[in-house]
Amino acid sequence: MQFRVDAEIQALTRDLQALAMDHRIVVCTNNRPYAIAMATSFAWASASHPGQLLGICTKPAEALALLPDEAQPVLAFVSEHLDDGSGLELVSQLKAHAPAAGAMATVLTLESLDAATVRRAWQGPTDALLTQRGLQVSVLVSALEALMQGLRYAGPVASHVLRDSPERSAQDLSSREHSVLELVCEGFTNREIGQHLHIAESTARGHVQAIIGKLHVRDRTAAAAEGVRRHLVD
């Protein structure tokens, strides 16, 4: 993965300034060029918002330690391989540490193109899934634009791998997830799902994210449509 300072980084900086993101940024990766590119771009883009970049690290524990104590939106860029852990697991840990729904957004970048790994990553709670192969500024910006709209995003290469993978069967959804999907189809919010099933709102949100991942869709509306298409709900 390479970024040219006189082209890609400057282009990314301009796009970040145009997005005017309020999130504070954490980068956790063992890929030095990626870390340098992200740090440089966000440092230039946030000149008027000092402190936006919380830090860059290579270990999951370091990433968790960088999270602010107060409830403010955080955007974490995570690579698949870290110095002493898995990026896929770190994404789940970051989501679990979020003080409120929507307070933590994650962009996971995979080195592997193994179909099982890509599926597992997409079934997890990450908001955007990218791959080192085919990673360009335009792809990264598209991912950030989707996140700003509250949508999930899979990069072109990841989407290709997911499309070419065998369709997941209904057995991939647990009985609880089937119940949650039925309520999603009825338009219930996470809070209403929690109240209806007597579970915490955060637990309901986790089930919804798992369903979105297993059905390979971008949001709950698409999950409802896919559930009807596959006859997973009555």
Contact assessment for residue 224 and residue 181, using Cβ atoms and an 8 Å cutoff: yes
Q: For the chain, where are the alpha helices, taking DSSP H only?
A: 10-19, 32-45, 60-66, 87-97, 115-123, 137-148, 156-164, 175-185, 190-197, 201-214, 220-229
Query: pTM here?
Result: 0.65
In the chain the domains, ranked by start, together with CATH numbers, are 5-164 (3.40.50.2300), 170-229 (1.10.10.10)
Residue 1 per-residue DSSP state? -
What are the pLDDT tens digits along the chain (234 aa)?
444 445 555 655 565 555 656 788 899 998 887 777 777 766 665 655 556 788 889 999 999 999 887 777 888 999 999 998 899 999 999 988 876 656 888 999 999 888 889 988 998 889 999 998 887 778 888 888 888 888 889 998 898 888 765 555 444 788 899 999 999 998 899 999 999 999 998 899 989 988 888 887 778 888 888 887 778 886
Amino acid identity for residue 74 in this structure: V
